[in-house]
Amino acid sequence: MDITFTRGDGTTTTGTVHAPAGATGRPGVVLVHGSGKGRSAHYDLTADAFARAGIVALAYGKRTEGYTPAHRDYSLLADDALAGLAALRSRPEVDPARVGLWGLSEGGWVAPARRFAVGRRGIPDHDRRELGPAGRAAGMGERDQVRRGGRA
């Protein structure tokens, strides 16, 4: 299901919610982009894998305004990830107390930056949890795929 949500600076972006059929009250995850511009089919494939595992996933449009290989505003990108978190929490498919971030590559820098927002932006303390073994296993799978030259 395609959605639109407002980022911290008032601009909007779009995303796709990938959910198991008939899902309600499920855990959720926001996929935080790696480097580069825009969203690729890779994020939809990853989000579909989370959905097959019973986790509602949001793959959203990365901010590309002012983004270059030489300039990356991780704070701004983290604010966007937080907006995605809020959008996913508002979905009926999701248990808002069980939503986290999953960062791929550059997203691995962006996702932890949100920790600094806890307490400053009304984000509940329980959001300090990480995705745990599932997130680490997904990251290891990506690393192995890179070693094989991108082949699955």
Dump pLDDT digits (tens) for 51-60.
999 999 999 9
Instruction: Kindly report, residue by residue over 25-34, the tens digit of the pLDDT.
Output: 999 999 998 8
Of 93 and 141, more confident: 93
> How many residues are listed for the chain in this entry?
152
Region 109-128: mean pLDDT is: 54
Pairing of strands 12-18, 56-60: antiparallel
pLDDT above 80: residue 144: no
List the beta strands (DSSP E) in the chain: 2-6, 12-18, 26-32, 56-60, 94-103
Give the strands of the sheet with 12-18, arranged side by side: 2-6, 12-18, 56-60, 26-32, 94-103
What is the DSSP-derived secondary structure letter of residue 124?
-
Instruction: Kindly report, residue by residue over 58-80, the tens digit of the pLDDT.
Output: 999 988 888 887 888 888 888 89
